A and B are shown apart, each in its own frame.
Chain A
Amino acid sequence: MEKLFPKLQIINENGEWNDETYRSEITEELTKELYKKMLRSRLFDRKGVNLQRQGRIGTYVPFEGQEASQIGSALAMGEGDWMFPTYRDHAATMTFGHSLKTLFLYWKGRQEGCIPPEGKNIFPPAVPIASQLLHATGTAWAEKLKGTDRASIVYFGDGATSEGDFHEGLNFASVFNAPVVFFNQNNGFAISVPIEKQMKSKTIAQKAVAYEMEGVRLDGNDVFAVYFHTRTAVERARKGEGPTLIESVTWRYGAHTTADDPSKYRDQNESATRREKTDPILRLERFMKNENIWDEKWAEELHESLTAEIEAAVKEMEETPAPHYNDVFDHVFAENPWPIESQKEAYAHSRGDR
C-alpha cells in the first residue's frame, strides 16, 4: 500500500528540486510569501507557548513543525470556501483570514475567538475528535445543492481516523459526491499514542480506497507539495469530481498541549534531531539559498516586522475589555426562553446589578 501511495514531494530535505512539474509557478514572489506565512505562524506559535507559561493565556495547543501542512493547504482554498479546523490549526485559519488577535483571544478563553471575520467561512475549532468531518461534508453538500463551485476543507489528525465520524464523513461525502477536501495531518502521535498503535495500515491515504475517492499522500513538510496537491484536490471538488483524502505526513516538535509532557512517551531528543531534516521553514530557506533568492537582510527585517505584528496582536488581545457576563446567557437561543432569562436576572441580582 505504501507503494501505491508514495509520499509526494516537490522540494527535498536539502531544498533541491524533486519534481519540476510546477517549476514555472514557483516564483520568487510565491516562495517569499510562503516563507513569510510560515515564519509568521511559527513566531505566533512560540509566543502562544510563552504567554501560557507566563499565565497570560490558558492552555495552548502548539503546532510547530506543521506550518507547511497548514499554510500550503489553506492557501489552496478560495474566497467563499469553508474551513473546519481543529484546536491545532491556527496556522491554517490565520492564513485563511483569522486575525492574530482573534486567535489569541480564543486561547484567552474568549468566545470572540470563535468568530471569523466578515465573509470568511471559518468554523470554530472542533474539540471533539473527527466530528467536524461531517460538518465539512454537510456544508460542501449544501454548496452542491445550491449549484455553486465552493468547496470545504477539513483538518484532522491521525488519531481521528480511528473515530466513527471519520468513516461516516468519508462515506457521506463519497455517496453524495460532496466537494470536500479531507486534510489529514499525520503528525505521528495522538497525544501519546504513536501511529503504529493507532492503526495497522501503513498509510492513511489508502483509506480513501474503501470510499472510492482519491487518496493522496504527501510530504507535509514540503510546503510546495502541500499547496499544489491540495489545489488539485480543490479543483477536482469544484468540478464535481468528488472528495479527496489527503494525508500530509508531518511531525509536531513539541507537546500535544502546554499541559502535556511529551518526554513521558517519546524521546524528545529524537524530535529535536528531526528538525535538521524535516523542519519546513529550514527546508524553504535552503531552497531559497539554492535558488539565490535568499536575502539575509530581507529575512531579518521580516523577522522584525512579524515580531512587531505579533506583539501588537498580544497588546490588542490584552487590552480587549472583559466580556459582559450577559454573554453567558444571551446567545444560547435566538430568543431567551424563560429559564435562561430568569437565571440571568437572578445572577444580576446576586451581583447587586439590579
Chain B
Amino acid sequence: MTTAVDTKKLTMVQAVTDGMRVMMKEHENVIVLGEDVGQNGGVFRATDGLVSEFGEKRVIDTPLAESGIIGTSIGLAMNGFKPIAEMQFLGFIYPAFNQIMTHASRIRARTLGHFTVPMVIRAPFGAGVRAPEIHSDSVEALFTGMPGMKVVVPSNPYDAKGMLISAIEDPDPVLFLEPMRCYRSTKMDVPEGKYNVPLGKAARLQEGSDVSVFAYGAMIDVVTKAAKSAEEKGIKCDVIDLRTLYPLDKDMIAESVQKTGRAVIVHEAPGTGGLGETIMSLINDTSFLYMKAPVERVTGFDTPVPMFALEDHYLPSADRVVQAIEKVTQF
C-alpha cells in the first residue's frame, strides 16, 4: 500500500523557506533572525513571506552585526527559543566566529549539559555565482574542526527541506550551509508537510563498482557530470553525496571504498585542512587493505577564492574530476 503525499515543485531556496515555514507553524518557539530577513525576505529570498505569516516578533530584522546576531541567538536558545540565525553569506560569518567557537559550540560541554544552545545558523556559501569578493568562501572546515558543531550541506531541494527540519529539531547547534549555485539550479518534487532527512547520513546518488566519488553541495553537479563522462569511458562510479560534514557517514564511506578499492574526493574548499584529508584518514582507518590505488583529491586551492573573473580556475571542474578518476583507475 502506498500513501499519496502532496508535493510541490520547488527550487532549493524555496524548499529552505518551506522547511522554516513548516517548523514555525508547528513550534511557536522557532524564530528567524538576521539582516534583511523580514520585509525584504532575505537577499536570496530564503525568508520570503515569513514575516507576513508569522509577524515581526518571530521574523526579526536585526542590526547589521553578525556577532550580535549569533550572540543574542545564544541567549535566546538558552532561554527557550529555537533561533534560526541567517548569515547573509558564509564569508560574512567571521565577526561571529568568536561567539560560535567560544560559546555556542562548547556551552554544553562547559556545563556538563546544564546549559545548551539548540540553534541553527543558516549561511549561503560557495563560488560559481559571480558574486563579489568574500561572498564565495567555502570555509566549512573552520566549523567541522570546531568541537560541538554539526555541519550539514544539502545539494538538492528535497534534502534541503528535510535536513533543515532535522537541524531545527536537533538539540545542538547546527551550521546549515546552502550552496548558492544550487539555490535555483533545479526544481524538484518536495513533500508539502513535515519530513526528515536525517543528519549524519550520506546518500548514494549512483551505484558503481570501479571508483568511489565523494562530494557535497555544489560539487555534486560537477561530479555527476564527471561520472557520466567516466561511464562513457567504461568506468562505473559509486557517487556519494556526503550531506553531513560533521559527523561524516563513516559506514557509507567505508562500504563504498571497500567495494570499489578506489576513491576520489571533491570539494571546492582549500585542500589543506579540508574535509578531503579527514575522509582520507577515515579510509585509511577503515579500509586500508581494500585499496587498489592512493586516494585522489580534487579541491579548491590554498588561496582566497579569487574575484569572479578567475573563479572558474579555482573551482574543481568536471574535467579535473575525470582526470582524477582515470588516475586512480589506471594506477
Show the binding face of A for B, using Cβ within 8 Å. Answer: 82, 111-112, 114-116, 123-124, 127-128, 131, 133-143, 145-146, 152, 164-165, 168-169, 171-172, 175, 327, 331-335, 337-339
Contacts and interface: CB of A to CB of B under 8 A. Distances in A.
Contact of A332 (B65, B70, B77, B147): B147
Majority DSSP secondary structure for residues of A touching B: helix
A174 to B, nearest CB: 9
A317 B257 CA distance: 52
Contact of A139 (B62, B78, B108, B250): B78
Nearest to B108: A331
- Would you list the 6 A-B pairs with minimal beta carbon distance, nearest first? A138-B75, A134-B71, A337-B247, A168-B68, A142-B79, A138-B72
B116 interface: yes
B99 interface: yes
Contacts of B109: 111, 331-332
A139 B75 contact: yes
A245 to B, nearest CB: 16
Given A135-B71, A164-B65, 6 more contacts: A131-B67, A131-B103, A134-B67, A142-B80, A175-B63, A334-B171
Contact of A168 (B71, B73, B74, B102): B71
Contacts of A111: 109-112
Task: Identify which of B57, B73, B247 gathers the most chain A CB atoms within 10 Å of its CB.
Answer: B247
Contacts of B57: 145
B75 A332 contact: no
Interface string B61-103: 0110101101111111111110000000000000100110011
Contacts of A146: 79-80
Contacts of B107: 124
Measured as residues with beta carbon below 8 angstroms from the partner, the interface class of chain B is: 35 or more
B112 A131 contact: no
Nearest to A133: B71
A142 B76 contact: yes
Nearest to A84: B75
A135 B74 contact: yes
Given A131-B99, A134-B75, A168 B63 contact: yes
B300 interface: no
Nearest to A143: B79
A131 B102 contact: yes
A113 B98 CA distance: 23
24 contacts: A82-B79, A111-B110, A124-B111, A128-B98, A128-B102, A131-B98, A131-B99, A133-B71, A134-B72, A138-B72, A138-B75, A138-B77, A142-B75, A142-B81, A145-B57, A164-B65, A168-B63, A169-B68, A169-B71, A171-B65, A172-B65, A333-B150, A333-B172, A339-B246
Nearest to A328: B109
Given A131-B99, A142-B79, A165 B71 contact: yes
A168 B75 contact: no
Contacts of B68: 134, 165, 168-169, 171-172
A338 B250 contact: yes
Task: Identify which of B57, B99, B110 gathers the most chain A CB atoms within 10 Å of its CB.
Answer: B110
B233 interface: no
A338 B111 contact: no
Nearest to B71: A134
A141 B76 contact: yes
Given A131-B98, A172-B72, A332 B108 contact: yes
Contact of A140 (B63, B75, B116): B75
A81 B175 CA distance: 30
A140 B72 CA distance: 9
B234 interface: no
Contacts of A139: 75-76, 78-79
Interface string B162-181: 00000000111000000000
Given A128-B102, A135-B75, A139-B75, A123 B115 contact: yes
A206 to B, nearest CB: 21
B148 interface: yes
Interface in B94-137: 95, 98-99, 102-103, 106-116
A327 B76 contact: no
A271 to B, nearest CB: 31
B206 to A, nearest CB: 25
Contacts of A331: 108-109, 111-113
B200 interface: yes
Given A141-B75, A338-B250, A172 B63 contact: yes
Contacts of B148: 332-333
